[in-house]
Structures are given as structure tokens and as C-alpha cells.
Structure 1
């Protein structure tokens, strides 16, 4: 039996009636890459995590969203200039999120979203998507919610969206409250101008098992998962130390082990869940070989086949030579 529904929690922080207005400009939210992963929920309805997590944003890569009043007979969702069918899974999730704030009003909306990263390919498009949607909802309904509340509500659309309301390093606290309102993200003050993230896109196709389903399968069937919360807590502490001391080796080692530990729990689930493709493994071996030869680089992976390479600007030229198709992101600098 549910302790709280999303609607019950959100309603506590909204006015009795809402005042919609068409947005003239788009709200933007960056995608983020978790260095300490979120994997597993203590409450599926509210997307409350079993462990705290820490990410770094991807600067200009992410999602733009605006909401317009519509004179049509049904709500509309437009993704990258394509009008989605009403029963499209993404459209259904978007409108369900809008409904948490619409308060039963009978107006219809048109939601326009643009991603400059592949959708549902393990590059955190849902995180930036629901964070941008939350910002758009806040403006469209003139709610004037602070960022902590927006983070909590964005989390109900996609857990990692709680982190995409911010830039730089961001920590999402797991929280303890049953209503989840202490399960929010906040940015860290630390900057790391020399840090670079390289995107190795093995596949931009939609993954066959979405993260939510994969997470549920892992928690339900993988005995290895029992050790995950302890691993994540230890990794989170190590990452804080690495960021505070600007220790790149510690940052990279911790992020890579955390990612591989998460994927190990997926592989140990049943049926086995393996997001990697052959080219993913080839890239891993190449990174390990380059590191053995003295080049300082590490990788992390979310629930998908694509790799995110961590390195410092001093090694950028050589690493780009080794991976000529890699897209380089500067999280703490101008693009």
C-alpha cells in the first residue's frame, strides 16, 4: 500500500488554483553524468533512492522545454519537432507530470521539448528532460517554487532529474522522510576547470530495457545487489575527498569502479541485463591499455552502451588523438 502518492505530496506545496500562461522562451537543463550512481529505489512511486549519488553536469548538452496553452481537444507533446502520439510512452509520462500541477483544471497544453543529446540511449536525457520540464511548469503556472522544491518534484518524473536543475558537481541526498521531501539535490561549491568529459557514443539507439525496468529487475533478482548501498556510500565519501583535494586519480578510480560495480549487479540479475555492446568492451580495453601505458584517463557508464571518459586538459590532445570521434565537454568552462 502506498504511503504517499506524488499528487498528495505535490499538493501540499501548491496554491488552490493555478494560473497558466504560455511561455515565450524555453527553459534549459543540462544532462548529468553520475560519478556515484543512483541504482535502486526505496519507494518506486516517489522515486526515492536507496543510496545518495553525485554527478557532474554536461554544460550545454541537455534539454529545452516550454509549455503553451493549447486550443486543441487533447494535450500535445512535441519532441525534437515531432508531434508524438497521445499513447507514446514519453508523451504519457510528460502529461502525467503536468497533471500533478494542473490541479484538475480543464485547460489543454502543448509541451515542446528539444534534446541535443540522444533520447533514451544511456546519456541521461530523461534527467535533463524532466528537469527542464519542471522549470517550465514552475514558470507556466507561476508557482515561484525554490530550487529545493523543484529538485524534489523533478525527481518524481525521473530520479536523476533532481540533479539536472544545477550545474557542476551535484549531490543528491537519499533522504529519510516517507514523503521524500528531504530527497533533494544541491550543487557543490567546488570547481574543477581542468576536468574534461569525453563522450564515446557506441550507440544512439533507444535501449531495449529502460533504466526504471532494469533497476527494478536488478533489485528483485540480483543477490549481488545487497552490497551495492555500502559500495555507493563508500564511493560517495571518496569522491568528496577527491573533489576537495583535486585528486584526479582518486576521482577517476572511484567513478570507474562505481560504474562497473553497478553494471555487475545488472549482469547478476535474471534475466541477465547487459547494456554493453561489443564496441563498449573494446573501448574499455583500449582505455585500460592506454592507462597502463601512462595516460591518465578513466571511464564511467550509465545504464546504456556509451562511455564517458574522464581526463584532465593536459592530456586532452593525446586522448582526442586516440578517440578522434569523441565529443569533449568542459563542465566548468565556456563551450
Structure 2
């Protein structure tokens, strides 16, 4: 048969998006998505992307369906570029049909590309016959979306920035059961953001604040890593909010300016700080989008949900505990 071109090879995988507590913004190597700084996150268990990849020898090009709709343009181009990496590793030229479904909105700052490329990495590599370690899967997922590297391992995850393709990967620093945190994702708009993360990373160095943010990252990482280890919510909260504010300060001082905050976003952040001052373990963080991730403990999650539900401008609230690793599934 020559190259590994067979009639049909199929595999399905599920991966969760993650919320970064210490964030990644800006790349040392844009092509390989090697970040300028390390990051720490946790996976979101109730949110997921399920992706089926089928390599079919009769296909003359890759085809992509997202939530049942055939996708072309930049979305398809990004998947094709990624599948080319998988094909190169496997030594095959077979094209694939990719069917991907999300149970949460895409392109609004809930790390949809993270779960998408983590699931695609696992499904595609398994379907094509590659037997990759978790480290290798994390490296592969990173090539599709930097934050996807963090959606491969379980629970609380740290991404080591590295300097080359093989040493920029993520590992689990604590299992999902280690600490009962809950992320309440306050959706303030379902509109697709005008500037995605990939384009945003390229603008990071245009901000005069980026160097200061990166230079201080190790300190923030060390504090949050220890806070997770010892369940120190207050120490974590202070660094998580600082880190989020620093990243958005870089965005707001980039050229052109990236302004993701909406009025409702600001109201939520102010309320969260007020709630924490009253003694509730709660903090906020925002990725590259207008929606606000409100993090608390399981004991307070219902109380925080009710407080958010009473606010004007919030369209929807997702609730997610700490989630597991990317995994293969049977259809």
C-alpha cells in the first residue's frame, strides 16, 4: 500500500477548555506558538469539545464541520495546517473529515480553540496510528493553539514555555480532585470577538507594558503554584486578578488597541472585589474576550451564581468544576 493510506481510519476525543490563572500573552516563536512566559490553568469539566476525525483515502481535501455546519475560510485553513503536521509525523497523505462539536459559545473568550485543538490532536493522532505520550500530545496541540497544550493534561496544569518545539509543553501539577474550585463563566455577549487570540499575540510587543508583565511572571507563577498546593484562596485571588489586569493592560496599550472589556464586564469585576472584601472566597479573571470567569469554591458556588444572576447584562452563566484530561471516546 506504500504510504499509510487506508480506506478509513476514525477516532473521537473529548477535551475541555481551560481557564488560565496565570496567563500566556505573546510568543517568542509565532510559527511554533512558543510563549514568552509560562502559565497555569485548570480545565473546565462541564464544558467540552468533542471531535471525530476520519481519514478517508478517497478524499481530495480536508473537510471540517463545526456544530453541524461545514466550515471554510480561515477556520478550515487552520485545521488543514494542523493536520499537515499530523500527516508529516505519520508519513501519510490521506485527507480527513473533521466533525467538531462544542457545548459552549465559540470565539468569546472561553478558550474554544484550546479544547478544539486538544481534542483534534488526540483524535487525529490516534486515528492515523501515532502513539504519542502526554508530553508529545501537549506539544502537538500547542501547534494548533498555544492554550490547547494545557487542555491535554488533567486538572491543574502548568505550561513550561521552553525554547523549541520539543520543550514547550504542559503538565498536570495537581489532579482535578485536589481542590474544589468552581468557575462561573458570566457570558456578557455571544458575539464573536473581532480580534482573536492568534492575532492578539502578535500585537503584544507593541505595548510598552509587555516587558514588565513578562519580567514579573515567575513571581506570579510561584505564588499561584504554592496557593494551589496549599489551597490558599486569598493568595491565589490576588495574583489571578493582578495577572488578568496586567494582560488586559497590555492589550489596551497595544497598537492597535485591543479593548475586550464591556460595561457589564467591569461591573462584574467590581462586584467580585466587593464580595471578596465581605469574606467570600471569590476572584475574577478574563481571557481575550468580554466574558468574565468568576472563580470560587464549591461551598460558595450557589451563592455566587445567585448574585451573578441578579446582575443586569449577563446573558448566560456556565458553571464548571475542575476537569480531567483530554480522552478518547467511543461513538
| TM-score normalised by L of structure 1 | 0.88
**Match of residue 216 from structure 1:** 202
Contact 2:15 2:118 in 1 (8 A): yes
How far apart are 1:69 and its partner, in Å? 3.3
| TM-score normalised by L of structure 2 | 0.89
Question: What secondary structure does 2:178 align onto?
Answer: coil
Name which of 209, 212, 223 aligns with 1:238.
223
Name which of 127, 132, 149 aligns with 1:145.
132
Higher relative contact order (CA 8 A, sep 6+): 2
| 2:30 matches 1:39 | no
How far apart are 1:254 and its partner, in Å? 1.1
**Match of residue 296 from structure 2:** 311
| Count of residues in correspondence between the two structures | 313
1:42-57 alignment, distance < 5 Å: 42-57=28-43
Q: Distance in 2 between matches of 1:229 and 1:251?
A: 18
User: Residue deviations 1:109-146, cap 9 Å, x none?
Assistant: 21111111211111000011011110011111111111
Q: Distance in 2 between matches of 1:332 and 1:62?
A: 10
Structure 1 residues 315 and 21 mapped into 2: Cα distance closer, same or farther (>3 Å)?
farther
Structure 1 residues 332 and 49 mapped into 2: Cα distance closer, same or farther (>3 Å)?
closer
Structure 1 residues 237 and 278 mapped into 2: Cα distance closer, same or farther (>3 Å)?
same
**Match of residue 87 from structure 2:** 102
Name which of 309, 327, 332 aligns with 2:318.
327
Q: Distance in 1 between matches of 2:186 and 2:197?
A: 19
Question: What secondary structure does 2:216 align onto?
Answer: helix
Q: Give 5+ residue unaligned stretches, structure 1.
A: 1-15
1:186-197 alignment, distance < 5 Å: 186-190=171-175, 191-197=177-183
1:21-32 alignment, distance < 5 Å: 22=8, 26-32=12-18
| 2:52 matches 1:66 | yes
**Match of residue 295 from structure 1:** 280
Q: Distance in 1 between matches of 2:8 and 2:233?
A: 45
Q: Distance in 1 between matches of 2:4 and 2:74?
A: 26
Q: Distance in 1 between matches of 2:16 and 2:124?
A: 17
Q: Give 5+ residue unaligned stretches, structure 2.
A: 310-315, 325-331
Q: CA RMSD in A?
A: 1.9
**Match of residue 5 from structure 1:** none
How far apart are 1:214 and its partner, in Å? 1.3
How far apart are 1:193 and its partner, in Å? 3.9
How far apart are 1:290 and its partner, in Å? 2.1
Q: Distance in 2 between matches of 1:75 and 1:24?
A: 14
Contact 2:51 2:119 in 1 (8 A): yes
User: Residue deviations 1:245-269, cap 9 Å, x none?
Assistant: 1101111111111111111111111
Q: Distance in 2 between matches of 1:231 and 1:139?
A: 39
